[in-house]
Structure 1
Amino acid sequence: MRKIWKKAAFLGLGAVFLGLLGGCFLFAPPSVPQGVSASDGDYPDRILVSWNAVRGAQRYEVFRAEEEDGDYEKIGESTTTTFPDTEAQGNRLYWYRVRACNQFGCSALSEADSGYYLAPAPPLPPQNVQASDGTFSDRIRVTWSEVVGATYYELYRSDIPGADFLRIAQVSTTSYDDQGIVLGRTYYYRVKACNSYGCSNFSETDAGFAAASAPGAPQNVEASDGTYSDRVRITWDPVPGAARYEVWRAASQGGTYELLAETTATSYDDRAVTAGTTYWYKVRAWNVLGYGPFSEPDSGYAAAGGGGGGGGGAQLPGQVSGVSASDGTYYDKIRITWNSVSGARTYRVYRSTTGVEGTFSQIAEVPSGTTSYDDTTITTLCQEYWYAVSAWNDAGEGPLSVPDSGYLGGTLEQVKTDKIKVTVTPSSTDATEATVKLEWEAVKDATKLGVYYEIWRRAPATISTKIAETTNTNYEDTVEIGKTYYYKIRACSTYECILCGPFSGEVTVVVACNPAPPTNVTATKSDTTKVTVSWSAVNGAQKYQVYRSTSATGAYTYIGETTGTSYTDEPPIPSSGSVTYYYKVKTCVACGCGGLSAASNGVTFSAP
């Protein structure tokens, strides 16, 4: 008996110990949720966050941030394993974490997952726009982060910070290599994200440049010898790849040279001189990769008294600045503009196909009151040309400007909404389908500009998607009957420098539930009191309705329906004389029935 008691006591203590041990796990917060997933564009108005159930959890708390490593804020709770975030903004990426809770506390936050929904609106501006700083020697690479809801991007560039930005490209990727540049020059870039609803605002601006080799020493440095009484003019040849020049001066050839001035021109007037005193000058060029070597020195002086004509004669005009050639702004010309130069009587415009020094040829000369020129002599779309300008007066020609490149291009015009014609025809082979035919007016110069057309379609409460491309001005789309569709069209070009035009307005097409009727409807007297009506099957039909009349062109009355392609009718037999019966059939699908078929042949019954 004592042994039995001891055994029972031992077992009881063990049960108490196990109960306490179990309580350590039972009375604790739940574990971290696993499998957290946020929907990626699956819903038109929300982001659905889901996760795996956690044992012991009574509720779940959902947190959201705009960056994966950002500050997460609680946005709601759920007693299930899903949470619909209806407060999120469309076309924006969000990050979500979840924790499980019960009466003893909450778990740590789960791993994060991102999600978004596509709203019927333009996307947000691109983030993280970066232009390469000397990474490449022949281009500037511009990159940016992908934007939710964007189907393409527009890239804009400016040569001057704060000036107007010109569109230079339209791409579907998140990077672009800009090769239409001058090496060593800094350019400024902005990007827009676009979809079928329009484009975002501009992104933040970023600057970049292409690396050039360090410039060489300026050649043919010459200082004026008594040409002017109030200055010494120093001139030199342009150095390829130079962004600016430094002019240095000394009192003797072997003396100490000091920096006198910086300039982007290839001449400089030293007015801090004493007439009759000789000065020595050196010049060196600079770009982003550093300074080139000094030139050979040359001496010069300002004339004392009236020597050399003093400063009263005509002076060479300075270098033209601000030269800009249009980048794809016009189909039929490249417009060159520049800043006016004091003392100029005319401007000479030069053109090159490479932009290399020594390859420029004069193409025009315009009076000093004009600071623009339209080059209409070129006809090749997208080909890059380089332009430079110099100023002229009675003393001669000033230095050639820094060149700029341009090309023929542009943006196509909009397809006219009021010229879009829509025709809907039920399919003769499938009862559930219809053909929507769209016809529109060609945009201007369509053949010359390599135009093709994009057709975009959407259903109610969805995003438009491109369904076709065609070089024709019509398109036939096969759709499901009994539904509504929205179409829009835009013109695009096979030429890279011709940008797609804006979309036409949306055209609403309501496709009625009107399946095509059967064909080959025939009526056969099967015995003295019955008629068998038969017809050809219509693909997709769910059933057929049969109608009868005593006149081929009279009113028809519904008499029955069938899922097959024949129907047996027992029409009324006349008590005297005779009567002829005709039959028509309707095709029916899920959304309803179509129109009556052509009449069958007549079947005549006579009184017994």
Structure 2
Amino acid sequence: VKDSLNATTITLTWNATQRATSYKISRNNIELNASFTSTTYIDTDITLTTIYTYEISACNSVGCSAAAEYIVNYSVPPTPQNLNATLASNPAAITLTWAAINGATSYNISRRSAAGSNPNIENMEVTGESYRDTKDIALGTTYTYQVKACNLLGCSTPASFIVAYSGPAQPQNLRATLSSSPNSVTLTWDASSRATFYKITRDTVELNAALTHLTYIDTDVNLRTTYSYQVSACNGASCFISASLRVDYSVPATPTALNLARSSEGIDLTWSPVTSVNAEMIVYTINRSGGADQEVVRQFDTGYKNLNKDIAFGTMYTYQVSACNGAGCSAPTEDSIFYSALVSPQNLRATLSSSPNSVTLTWDASSGATFYKINRDNVELNATFTALTYIDTNVTAGATYSYTITACDQQGCSAAAEYIVNYSVPPIPQNVLATVSGNAINLVWDASSAATYYNISRSGGTGADLVDIQETGISYRDTDSITLGAIYNYTIIACNILGCSAPALLEVSYLDTDGDGVIDVEDNCPMISNPDQKLSDDDTDGISGVAAGNGNACDDDMDDDGDGLVDIYAASTLNQIRDNLAGTGLRSNSTGCGNGEDIVDCSGYELMADIDLNELPVKNSGYFQGSNWVPIGHCGTLTTCMPAGNPSFFASQFNGNNYTINNMFINVTETNRVDNHGVGFFGAIGSTAKLSNIHLHNVSISASPAANVGGLAGFSGGIISSSSVVANQIIGRRSTGGLVGFLDGQVRGEALLSSSVVIANQITSSITDNTGGLVGLGIFASISSSLAVVNQITGIGTVGGLIGSGTNLLFGIRSSLAITSGINGSNNVGGFAGAGTSTNSYWQDEVTITATGIAGTPSGATAQSTSALQTPVTFSGIYANWAAAYCNPTTGEYRTSAATDFIQAWNLGGANEYPVLNCFPSFTPAQQRTEIDRIINP
């Protein structure tokens, strides 16, 4: 059965059926003709957009056959579906395809150019389900196609389809992965829109021209070679611009600047990232203590926290960090750290209040601490306190409390810092004393517990009374209208926020103007500190003394031996030389030095007796609180230890004459003081200064806020010879040494240090670099024939048994020896020096050296066993070159050849004895060895 449609009829035709004499025709179950004899039927009773179902049966006299059913959709075809386009080049073409439409006898194609510049295609008729358009196709142009399905009744509504005749987008996110088994580079990228395949090139050589997936593996690669890859996205229209990637097929370089730091969470590691063409491929491998723990960290993580991973106090940990990629791993960089417990809180102090009753505790932050525990009388007040101030309001007047504070983190807590608070009105001040200096009366007294200030009142004399002069220290200098010969009555009251004590009374009836312990009415020299009270011209300087009681005519500067040096007999006079750093006399009205008529300007000072600094009062307030000695001269700030002629430097001579200065205690309590840099007996000596034959015994210096700290001199730019320091402790911030903190000859041309000895229990730099048994830091200097014997030396960087850092010494270190039980530090730690050069010098190899970073051994200094150091009794073997060292015990001079009045500097001793110096009549070799034994075998 077939149909033929037109605007008014539906014509059905069919093949004739054998033995049929007629046909029965029905439509939609309604009979149209019961005995139709033709095989063609024309239906004119039709309506557009209607579906008809026809049934045709073949009949004869016997009957009719089953009906043949035929459905006719008397409609225009539906809109075409599933349009698609394929692009082609050479020639440029766009092929459209769509799904076949039932009832369609043809398809009508139209085209419009989005740019409007290309010719249109109008009503192009095709009979199949595709159309190849080659008419003026231009790259980069977008076309809009319309496709209609048609039959004899008409055409459907059009189906529109937009086609961009252009190349694909550039490939994005091109990346590479390296592999070493086997050697290969794997490229991957994101799919590009409109791409049907990809072209891969390396260094302009095509590797693959028609890759259809998004991964390419290049196995033809060699180590330490850089390749340049390009990936192009292509389709039938064209290949677009390539995406490029440089790949360095190399093992990464070793990481640098590895730093280890203790934190509240454990140990933190940081390092500098490795520079690479493909830095994004790098990961870091961390090994601890030889590989017990391994972690892989992403490239951008150049820091790592070893978070409580079996970290234990008192343990040395070594970390190795390697940079890795698919080609392999670099050699590791390595550093070590000693994981110590937290330091106790420092500078614990208390403030009392009475409204309401309270005690306010404050303290300095402990490095690494995250919280603090506060106890009072062994009862816990707060276990997780995070601030640095705690207020205790549960206090009672008249009570005494013992507070302890510990610094803590997640690992544990420090030892406790203790502070005793007497929550009471202070007691009466005790031991009130008065001395007179010029036109001033100096009052001192013992500190009263719990006192925060003192009220001083005065009556008597010709001036007005003084009432309630407030003083926070335990001394007061009264210069208000003081009249010689007058009697003054003083009252001193100790006070705090709770109230004041009863008064301490003192009557000053006889004046001691010069403070030498002799009252004015019995003093030949009431204006000059002169304990010997010379009655005649014993020093032959032309100035005669007079009878007792006449007062002022006396000699400013005693020089009995006529050598041009002012004689020092007492601690009080020794303390006065700080007033004239040029050495021209104790006072500005000096009568000069010399013999008879040969009067000359004084040129320095000399000791004429042993001195005990305990005769001087202890500072009870200020920057040197707790000290009985304030350094003579100072550096000022860290940057003012350089200029020649610094007015704060001691610039003259000081000959100790082999007398001993005993019991020097220096304590630096604050950091914001101009002269806290440069701490020792001398804070700083200039390029014209010369120190000799000085012996400081029983020394203790605690100056952790200060740089340039040494027993004899904090800073030295001059000459030091034949001197010694015997100390319990010398503690500074940096550049700390037993004899000199910073030995700097840049102004003079060469700072000299020779034939000197340090014997100490502890030498420490608490904050930073340059710590040594004899010298902390040396620049443009020479050190000769000197000995350092120290139990423990501790610093951060550049730490050594004799010198911390001596890399810029002018003539190095010659014929010197370091004997130490333990040396501790981070980087550049050595038995003799952290850094520097030396000749014919040695260090005892039984020392325990703890270097968390790089150990340092200077060129020329060698380790020797105890037996090797003690065996020689003559100048032979390792000591063969030590014979050429000589000193003058009287003048302290040093030389390398024999001369009159000079003796050999070294005393090698007998079997089982260390070498010591011969140069000190008052500190004999036997006495030196006794002190050494006390330090080495405590």
- Which structure: greater strand fraction? 2
| TM-score normalised by length of structure 1 | 0.24
Whose Rg is larger? 2
Higher relative contact order (CA 8 A, sep 6+): 1
